[in-house]
Structure 1
Amino acid sequence: MTADPDTARSANRRDLEQGIERDFSRRMSYGDYLQLDRLLSAQHPLSDPPQHDELLFIVQHQTSELWLKLLIHELRSARALLAADELPQALKRLARVKHIQHTLTDQWSVLATLTPSEYAQIRPFLATSSGFQSAQYREVEFLLGNKNADMVEVFAHDPGARAELQQLLAEPSLYDEFARYLHRRGYAVPAAVLDRDVTQPYRQDDDLVSVFAEVYATPHEHWGVYETCEELVDVEDNFQQWRFRHLQVVQRTIGQRTGTGGSSGVHFLRRALDLTFFPELYAVRAQVG
């Protein structure tokens, strides 16, 4: 028997349709597919006595790690697509990367609701744990070109994370693959860029700036490359916004105190704002027009 729609509306309810699945004893449910029993049981506050705001702190960082996992997935794919000369598909991946970055940055506004007094109640239970120790964050940095061999040893206690970072340290970054793509397309990419030691942080090459200057002088003749350059600038800009928002939240929460992981806190985070992934794409702007 079908319920009378007018009756349902007057009762302020929505009746279930006949075709909606109700019995999941032998079928996969939403919770089964997402393994929500594991996911939602992974929050274990340590404060004693229990502090209301610790769950916020845990969920904030766990969800960030999930988004970082997807970010790594997309960046790896974009890098592989560039290596295979599949530029349009790589650009699609970068478009998704940018949306993930926006989500990660927006999340800081939730943690910013934690006042210094509230954070002080849970800080002792963090012990020496710190976001600085996020292996996935370091993977993102390595993929984008901010290589630092010293960071690998921070994860000596975690063989899996250490091996992953060691591998990424030895592999070309996304920007390295873009330079190689340009070389295969006939652009005069300097040999110093193509043959560089990819385990080292990327440093600006003025001859590559000149290559990009030609692209920006006549973008209609180099549209795919021009678009990729701007997508990469967007990615770096988003990353810097994430860094700055992190700095702001830490500053409003703990001020100038040292971080739980032993860093100088705000001062250490501020120094990260000087790091760049794609320096030539910013340097070229002084030569446009």
Structure 2
Amino acid sequence: MMVSVRHASGKGADSRRAGSDGDGRPSLAFDAGTPYAEYGAITTLLSLQRTRTDEPAETTFLVSTQVMELLFALIRHEWEIARDALEADDVPVAVAALRRGASAQDVLIASWDLLGAMTPNEFTRFRDRLGEASGFQSYGYRHLEFLIGNKAEAMVRPHRADPGVRADLERTLRAPGLHDAALRLLHRRGLPVPAGRVDRDFTRPAEPDPAVERVWAAVYADERSDNDLLLLAETLLDTAERVTRWRHRHLMAVKRAMGAKRGTGGSSGMAWLARNAAVDVFPELWSLRTRI
């Protein structure tokens, strides 16, 4: 994505000078609404909290959902930059994007605090009005799962009625994930990455491979300060750890609000979330720690 920066001599600087009173106080006179509201589409944003019951906790639930979706989009943006940079042999850009993504992941994990105090009675009073709606159906989150290698073509199926969303998900499904792109980079650097992990069907998840673990172990054996591959490995692990934290916080929020009830979207609810939270992201980066 290209970012346009206005220099001091540009239109943006001119408008700031024109709006200033010259004594350090903020501008207060705007004939067509504030630039802040226009830039952030604030009026539109604040018109989207349409609850279905009179239960006060539903507002918290709805706002939390919308905040999470915005963060999913931001994290996807950073992860795709990182993946594409790895494909282009640009480790510094990839690491910078992953670090920005990790900061967004921290906010995403903390967003569960908004729901942490919701009681089972509060949730029950509006749960039925959700119908079959479930976070499992979030295509923003599905992009993230595909990018970390949790590929499953069946997960595109819920979005078949929206051709644009479906096509976008299929592109992410077919493309290398973050770990795929990292291993392809290691291969180009001369490390013995198995051929089946360099060129493969990216629509399918990759099984953990001891040979991949050995490759990463070789990266960790080089502790020179300028080993950019070691920095990449640790940054990928930062990302992976935060995914697991997110999954665990999701599990705890569900356990607290509804126990072992079946999920609104038809899943087994808490049991399904527990199985998902137990699966390591980028597993060879975790298992090599036993080897070292």
1:109-188 map, 5 Å: 109-188=113-192
Q: Which runs of 5 or more residues in structure 2 are unaligned?
A: 1-21
1:146 and 1:276 in contact (8 A); partners too:
no
The aligned counterpart of 2:248 is 244
The aligned counterpart of 2:228 is 224
Q: Per-residue deviation at 1:269?
A: 0.6
Partner amino acid, structure 1, of 2:185: Y
Per-residue CA deviations over 1:2-37 (Å, capped at 9, x if unaligned) read xxxxxxxxxxxxxx9565222221575111110111
Q: Per-residue deviation at 1:187?
A: 1.3
2:112 and 2:250 in contact (8 A); partners too:
yes
RMSD of the TM alignment (CA)?
1.6
Partner amino acid, structure 2, of 1:197: D
The aligned counterpart of 2:50 is 44
1:202 and 1:277 in contact (8 A); partners too:
no
The aligned counterpart of 1:267 is 271
Aligned residues: 271
2:280 and 2:286 in contact (8 A); partners too:
no
The aligned counterpart of 1:77 is 81
2:199 corresponds to 1:195: yes
2:244 and 2:281 in contact (8 A); partners too:
no
3-state SS of paired residue (2:224): helix
Q: Per-residue deviation at 1:219?
A: 2.1
TM-score, length-normalised on structure 1? Answer: 0.90
The aligned counterpart of 1:88 is 92
Mark the CA change 1:18 to 1:215 in structure 2 (over 3 Å): closer, same or farther.
Answer: closer
CA distance in 2, matches of 1:28, 1:256: 48
TM-score, length-normalised on structure 2? Answer: 0.89
Per-residue CA deviations over 1:76-129 (Å, capped at 9, x if unaligned) read 111111111111111011111111111111111110111001111111111110
Per-residue CA deviations over 1:233-255 (Å, capped at 9, x if unaligned) read 11111100100010001001101
Mark the CA change 1:120 to 1:194 in structure 2 (over 3 Å): closer, same or farther.
Answer: same
CA distance in 2, matches of 1:71, 1:102: 11
Q: Which runs of 5 or more residues in structure 1 are unaligned?
A: 1-15
CA distance in 2, matches of 1:221, 1:215: 12
Partner amino acid, structure 2, of 1:43: Q
Among 11, 36, 55, the alignment partner of 2:59 is 55
Name the larger-Rg structure. Answer: 1
The aligned counterpart of 1:105 is 109
CA distance in 2, matches of 1:22, 1:212: 57
Moved more, 209-218 or 229-238: 209-218
Moved more, 72-81 or 210-219: 210-219
